[in-house]
Amino acid sequence: MFAFIARQPILDCQKDVFAYELLFRDGKGGCFPDTPSPNAVTIAQRFNPLGLDDISAQKKSFINFSSETLISRFPTSLDPSTVVVELSESPGRGSGLIEACAHIKQLGYQIALDDPMMLSSQSDILPLLDIVKVDVGKIRAEHITQRLPRFTDANVKLIAENVETHDAFTQCLELGFDLFQGYFFAQPEARISRQLPASKMNLIDLMGESSAEDFNINRINQIIERDPALSYLLLRFINNPIINKRHEISSLRHALNYMGEVEIKKFIALLSLTHLGDEKPLEIIHMSLVRAKFFDLLAQQRRQKTNPPVGFLIGLFSLLDALLDQDMPGILKQLPLVDEVNDALLGKSTEFNHYLMLVRAFESALWLNVIKQSKALDIDQKQLHSLYNQAIVWGNSVRSTLSSYFPASRAK
Query: pLDDT of 193-215, one tens digit each?
Result: 567 776 677 888 888 888 888 88
pLDDT at 409: 38
What's this model's pTM, rounded to 2 decimal places? 0.89
d(CA 68, CA 170): 38
Beta strands at 83-87 and 157-161: parallel, antiparallel or unpaired: unpaired
At what angle are helices 252-259 and 228-238 packed, to 10 degrees?
Answer: 30
pLDDT at 242: 65
pLDDT at 407: 45
d(CA 195, CA 191): 13
The 3-class SS string of 315-340 reads: HHHCCHHHHHCCCHHHHHCCCCCCHH
d(CA 119, CA 128): 13
d(CA 339, CA 90): 53
Polymer length in residues for the chain: 412
Which residue ranges make up each domain of the chain?
5-186, 198-411
Q: In the predicted model, is pLDDT for residue 120 greater than 70? A: no
Tell me: the pLDDT tens digits for 129-155? 999 998 888 777 777 777 788 788 778
Instruction: Please answer whether residues 354 and 373 qualify as being in contact, where contact means their C-beta atoms are separated by less than 8 angstroms.
Output: yes
Buried b (16+ CB within 10 A) or exposed e, 26-46: bbeebbbbeebeeeeeebbee
Mean model confidence pLDDT for the chain: 85
pLDDT at 340: 93
Q: Confidence class of residue 180 from pLDDT cuts 50, 70 and 90?
A: very high
| Mean pLDDT score, 243-258 | 73
The CATH T-level fold of domain 5-186 is TIM Barrel (3.20.20)
Provide the CATH number for the domain formed by 198-411 in this structure: 1.10.3210.10
Tell me: the pLDDT tens digits for 212-245? 888 888 888 888 777 777 777 777 777 777 666 6
Whether 198-411 and 5-186 are alike in CATH topology: the answer is: no
Beta strands at 60-65 and 83-87: parallel, antiparallel or unpaired: parallel
